Homo-oligomer: A and B are copies of this chain.
Amino acid sequence: MYDCTIVGGQIITPNGPIFADLALSGDSIAAIGHGLNGERVIDASGCYVIPGGVDPHVHLQLALGGLVSTDSFSSGTIAAACGGTTTIVDFADPQPGQSMGDALAARRAEADGQVAVDYGLHMTIPTWHGQSAERLAEVPAMLAAGCATFKLYQAYARMELDDVALHRSMAAVAKAGGRVVLHSETGPLLDHLRAEAVAAGHIGAIWHERTRPACLEATAIHRAAEIAHLTGCPVHIFHVGCAEGVVEIVTAKSRGVAITGESCPHYLLLTADKHLGGPDGNLYICAPPLRSAADQSALWRALADGGLDLISTDHCPWTRSEKAQRSFAQVPGGVPGIESRLSLLHHFGVNRGHISLARWVELCATAPARLMGLPRKGILLPGYDGDVVIFDPKREKTISTDTLHEAADWTPFAGMTVTGWPRTVLLRGRVIVADEEYIGAAGDGEFIKRSVKCE
């Protein structure tokens, strides 16, 4: 007799859907199959049973230039949970003079006890760390502390690593057995182009895209891939938005570079012309910027055929008033999206025929868990954590801030009607969302020590 069984649903496996029941014991999956008996029985008839989503790229209560991103660890993870995501990976960002260890402790202090779902932290290697072999000596300790992945930037002051710092950092991460996750844009040139545009008096949001041309996203990936090749460091490219970027990733893969890439729902569903160029353009400013419909086609194809490996949200919300700046150059970058990822991908990906059900789960849960080093997450198999989503593929819902649990007073997906929404969500065996209602408690989630050692 297992603690709990989830019966009557279709489990979405890597090989497609099967009719089978799921048994949980304690916080884990105990069995999958027929003839399983549970103390408690949850009916999943008519629904998909899928692993809890893993969102490897979110920014909750991010301090940035005097502001703090709109969602706290509490509100953001409740939104994640309601959207079917049971694990997130956020960031610890060492400040100047701060050690990685202190940054990790400080960030954990913000999250522990607050989070509704499990979480991990990427350790950022900012400029002053990347420039110093001594400060990189902390890398192995961070791996030991469960930060298996290191966030590097090729753009943004205070964060930006030049090629040497990139090489030095990647070499250190590779040696320690970690993985790099990378913001890949040619930062210095973008700053220069933006400064030129500002000097020329341009303020409209569309200039955000015009001063961040796709070729400078692609060139940065090209450089990063070469350095990954030279150092033997696995590198994951964050938020790929353009066809040129996909080409660089695919080409590097075929040369044997250990490179992977992700895209995000906003790149798949919004365009520069319509959204940055529209009346509320500032809202849609994020980096890299939104691109074109042609880029979207390339992204969908890459998601289907393995050119890209997973979907994250890069959830980084700001309020309408924070976004309301005179010039595009002053707008805090980022859009919300932590809650709607699974449903958007199901509706616009699966229902529209771009990807299969199995690939949907792979992109939203299995692949991010594997690549980010979460060995008990991302798939429904015995021994894995009991993170389960009962997803109703027939539930129709129009996305709106009225029903979302995200804290921002807007969402880029407002008004989109999707078919398919999470009904019930379990975190390590415990129901935290029941019939679309959040019933969990602060601190249900835990910090997960991650490890990306290959099997």
Contacts and interface: CB of A to CB of B under 8 A. Distances in A.
Contact of A31 (B13, B33, B186, B305): B33
Given A30-B34, A33-B32, A254 B381 contact: no
A455 B358 contact: yes
Nearest to A302: B254
Total copies of this chain within the assembly: 4
Contacts of A219: 222-223, 226
A20 B383 contact: yes
A30 B21 CA distance: 10
Nearest to A34: B30
Interface string A191-207: 11100000000000000
B306 A382 contact: no
A124 to B, nearest CB: 21
Interface residues of A, number: 61
A300 to B, nearest CB: 10
A223 B343 CA distance: 39
A455 B16 contact: yes
A230 interface: yes
Contact of A25 (B34, B358, B379, B382): B34
Given A219-B223, A366-B15, A383-B20, A35 B2 contact: yes
Given A162-B162, A163-B186, A230-B213, A15 B14 contact: yes
Contact of A381 (B20, B30, B227, B253): B20
A382 B186 contact: no
A266 interface: no
A8 to B, nearest CB: 13
A31 B35 contact: yes
Contacts of A20: 31, 381-383
Contacts of A256: 301, 305
B30 A25 contact: no
A165 to B, nearest CB: 9
Given A219-B226, A256-B301, A168 B192 contact: yes
A315 interface: no
Contacts of A31: 20, 31-36
Contacts of A167: 189, 192-193
A363 to B, nearest CB: 14
Given A188-B164, A301-B256, A455 B356 contact: yes
Contact of A383 (B19, B29, B357): B19
Contacts of A306: 305-306
A381 B18 contact: yes
A53 to B, nearest CB: 15
A378 B33 contact: no
Contacts of A164: 188-189, 191-192
A128 B148 CA distance: 40
A57 to B, nearest CB: 20
A67 interface: no
Contacts of A2: 35
A42 interface: no
B168 A305 contact: no
A454 interface: yes
A405 interface: no
A23 B34 CA distance: 10
21 contacts: A13-B14, A14-B14, A17-B455, A19-B383, A20-B381, A25-B35, A29-B33, A30-B34, A31-B32, A31-B34, A32-B32, A33-B33, A34-B382, A164-B188, A164-B189, A186-B223, A189-B227, A189-B230, A215-B229, A216-B230, A305-B306
Given A31-B33, A189-B227, A219-B222, 18 more contacts: A2-B35, A15-B378, A15-B379, A15-B381, A18-B383, A20-B31, A20-B381, A20-B383, A29-B33, A31-B35, A33-B382, A162-B188, A193-B230, A219-B226, A250-B254, A254-B305, A256-B301, A357-B455
Give the 8 A-B residue pairs with the shortest CB-CB distance, closest first: A31-B33, A33-B382, A14-B14, A20-B382, A164-B188, A16-B455, A164-B192, A306-B306
